[in-house]
């Protein structure tokens, strides 16, 4: 534990701005002297006390609730003091300053500072204290930030699942199963003279297969959770006046982009996040792709290609009313060729044929036919986007996950595959089998933070809000 983790910390724990209630939170090893200096009395643990919050001269700053949580029965595992006042920024700043002032005073009885080294908390430091004091593991700590940042109801529910320990429980079960199997392998290595084949008797091969099956189930749920957290980036591309802005507006259900009959109206990217079955879809409308001598339009087209090459899914929008025009067909061919050259492999391109309401003939081009004006075909597009994203609602529900969790689970899978290969050769490679199982264990422990470097913790908790 770094020296800074021993300092008592202080922060405003509610969002910036005005509100009905605001909170100042303090966490440290012994906060009784601070409570006595602030209120002239001790506070009963875990009991809300309504009293005045006064400055050093005894003049009330506000009246509110004070709560004292004695260690280890608190969020951080340390003593925690919470002051709940009216949520005005000035009031909360005055309370913050008063706490710092009281901490720097000398206790007349003890003859020392009331609370030495009290300082403002860094981002996420309260949650970091909770992790370091074994109140939560790393996946639960990350779930706190994900719950706060959730952009959809499904993402919030998945984050709550992780915060309750659902993800951690699955990881611990996998780790325990790997530990048992590794013990068998180590026993075989330690006692080679024994005639009993420990691995065959204990069905080591069957155990490993069951671990791999359980790992795949966890990976599927975690992948869906990662999708709920991150969403996918969808870019609408096509020639000018194909209805890209109209499609964005139709998907968003709001007039976000300017729509006119004039080709080239959209000069820059317009982005909106929508949700489909709880999955965040970040939709970007771009400038029409065509040859141009207009400097501003060329900049817009360049930015359009930047967005396209970074997309998870591209919606290639076509205009049904111009589908038979040779010049329009040539433009689409040129765009498709450019997409094939510039897009990374594996990025899906969905052909969308717009303006079905304006065409009387029964055209059935390949792709999805819709009308951004009437809404016809939008449901089919939404389902196509979910399919392209790989969304499948897990039967047991998902838990929120991050890219580092996915990478760690992939690493576990790779080590298990290597272990299975070594197990097949049995005695000739048992030492390598034991090592692969150890590496798989380590990758699982990285997820929950049992073996995490201070650098990794710094990156994770720095993304939290102040006061949490």
Question: Is 14 known as a binding-site position?
Answer: no
8 A C-beta contact, residue 448 and residue 174: no
Question: Is 133 known as a binding-site position?
Answer: no
Question: Is 245 known as a binding-site position?
Answer: yes
Question: Is 121 known as a binding-site position?
Answer: no
Question: Is 106 known as a binding-site position?
Answer: no
Separation between Cα atoms, residue 388 and residue 367, nearest integer Å: 14
Radius of gyration over every alpha carbon of the chain, rounded to an integer in angstroms: 30
Question: Is 88 known as a binding-site position?
Answer: no
Question: Is 188 known as a binding-site position?
Answer: no
Question: Is 354 known as a binding-site position?
Answer: yes
For residues 142, 144, 146, 147, the Cα torsion angle rounded to the nearest 10 degrees is 160
Question: Is 244 known as a binding-site position?
Answer: yes
Question: Is 327 known as a binding-site position?
Answer: no
Read off the DSSP letter of residue 450.
T
Question: Is 243 known as a binding-site position?
Answer: yes
Question: Is 319 known as a binding-site position?
Answer: no
**Environment class of residue 348 by beta-carbon count within 10 Å: exposed (0-12), middle (13-18) or buried (19+)?**
middle
Cis peptide before 72 (omega within 30 of 0): yes
Residue in this structure with the two tokens 């499609």, named with its chain if needed: 247
Question: Is 58 known as a binding-site position?
Answer: no
Q: What are phi and psi of 19, to 5 degrees?
A: -160, 170
Dig out the tokens for 457 from the structure: 């913790």
End-to-end CA distance of the chain: 19
Question: Is 264 known as a binding-site position?
Answer: yes
Question: Is 295 known as a binding-site position?
Answer: no
Question: Is 261 known as a binding-site position?
Answer: yes
* Maximum C-alpha span of the chain: 93
Question: Is 357 known as a binding-site position?
Answer: yes
Any residues with CB less than 8 A from the CB of 221 and at least 6 apart, and which?
170, 394, 396, 397, 398, 399
Question: Is 468 known as a binding-site position?
Answer: yes
Question: Is 74 known as a binding-site position?
Answer: no
Question: Is 398 known as a binding-site position?
Answer: no
Sheet holding 349-354, edge to edge: 270-276, 279-285, 232-238, 313-319, 349-354, 368-369
Read off the DSSP letter of residue 149.
H
Question: Is 246 known as a binding-site position?
Answer: yes
Question: What is the CA 124 to chain-centroid distance, rounded?
Answer: 15
Sheet holding 19-28, edge to edge: 49-54, 60-69, 79-87, 19-28, 9-12, 119-120
Question: Is 25 known as a binding-site position?
Answer: yes
DSSP count for the chain of H helices, then E strands? 15, 12
Coil, strand, or helix at residue 455? helix
Question: Is 288 known as a binding-site position?
Answer: yes
Residue in this structure with the two tokens 């391109």, named with its chain if needed: 349
Question: Is 278 known as a binding-site position?
Answer: no
Question: Is 71 known as a binding-site position?
Answer: no
Residues composing the chain: 468
Q: What are phi and psi of 5, to 5 degrees?
A: -75, -10
Q: Which residues are annotated as part of the binding site for Mg(2+)?
A: 245, 266
Q: Which residues are annotated as part of the binding site for (6S)-5-formyl-5,6,7,8-tetrahydrofolate?
A: 25, 82, 135, 468
Q: Which residues are annotated as part of the binding site for K(+)?
A: 241, 260, 262, 265
Q: Which residues are annotated as part of the binding site?
A: 25, 82, 135, 241-246, 260-266, 285-288, 354-357, 468
Q: Which residues are annotated as part of the binding site for GTP?
A: 241-246, 260-266, 285-288, 354-357
């Amino acid at each position: 534990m770094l020296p800074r983790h021993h300092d008592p910390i202080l922060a405003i724990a509610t969002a910036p701005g005005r509100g009905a209630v605001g909170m100042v939170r303090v966490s440290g090893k012994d906060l009784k002297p601070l409570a006595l200096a602030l209120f002239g009395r001790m506070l009963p643990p875990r009991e809300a006390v309504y009293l005045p919050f006064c400055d050093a001269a005894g003049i009330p700053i506000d009246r509110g609730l004070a709560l004292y949580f004695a260690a280890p029965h608190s969020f951080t595992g340390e003593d925690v003091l919470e002051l709940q006042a009216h949520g005005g920024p000035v009031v909360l700043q005055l309370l913050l300053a008063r706490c710092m002032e009281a901490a720097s005073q000398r206790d007349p009885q003890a003859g020392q500072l009331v609370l030495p080294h009290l300082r403002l908390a860094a981002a996420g430091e309260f949650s970091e204290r909770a992790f370091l004091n074994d109140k939560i593991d790393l996946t639960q700590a990350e779930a706190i930030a994900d719950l706060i940042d959730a952009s959809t109801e499904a993402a919030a529910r998945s984050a709550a699942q992780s915060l309750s320990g659902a993800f951690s429980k699955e990881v611990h079960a996998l780790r325990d199963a790997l530990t048992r199997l590794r013990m068998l392998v180590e026993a075989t290595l330690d006692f080679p003279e024994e005639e009993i084949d420990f691995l065959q008797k204990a069905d080591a091969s069957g155990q490993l297969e069951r671990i791999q099956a359980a790992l795949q189930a966890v990976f599927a749920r975690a992948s869906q959770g990662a999708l709920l957290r991150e969403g996918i980036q969808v870019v609408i591309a096509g020639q000018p006046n194909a209805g890209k802005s109209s499609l964005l507006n139709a998907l968003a259900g709001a007039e976000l982009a300017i729509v006119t009959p004039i080709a080239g109206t959209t000069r820059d990217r317009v982005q909106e996040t929508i949700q489909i079955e709880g999955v965040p879809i970040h939709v970007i409308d771009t400038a029409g792709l065509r040859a141009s001598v207009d400097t501003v339009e060329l900049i817009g087209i360049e930015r359009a290609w930047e967005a396209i090459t970074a997309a998870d899914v591209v919606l290639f929008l076509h205009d049904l009313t111009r589908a038979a025009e040779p010049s329009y067909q040539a433009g689409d061919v040129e765009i498709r060729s450019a997409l094939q050259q510039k897009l990374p492999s594996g990025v899906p391109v969905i052909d969308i044929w717009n303006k079905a309401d304006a065409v009387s003939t029964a055209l059935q081009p390949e792709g999805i036919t819709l009308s951004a004006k009437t809404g016809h075909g939008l449901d089919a597009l939404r389902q196509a986007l979910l399919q392209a994203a790989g969304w499948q609602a897990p039967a047991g529900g998902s838990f929120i996950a991050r890219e580092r969790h996915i990478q760690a689970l992939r690493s576990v899978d790779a080590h298990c595959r290597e272990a299975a290969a070594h197990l097949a050769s049995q005695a000739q490679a048992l030492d390598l089998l034991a090592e692969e199982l150890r590496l798989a264990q380590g990758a699982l422990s990285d997820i929950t933070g049992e073996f995490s470097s201070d650098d990794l913790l710094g990156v994770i908790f720095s993304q939290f809000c102040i006061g949490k």
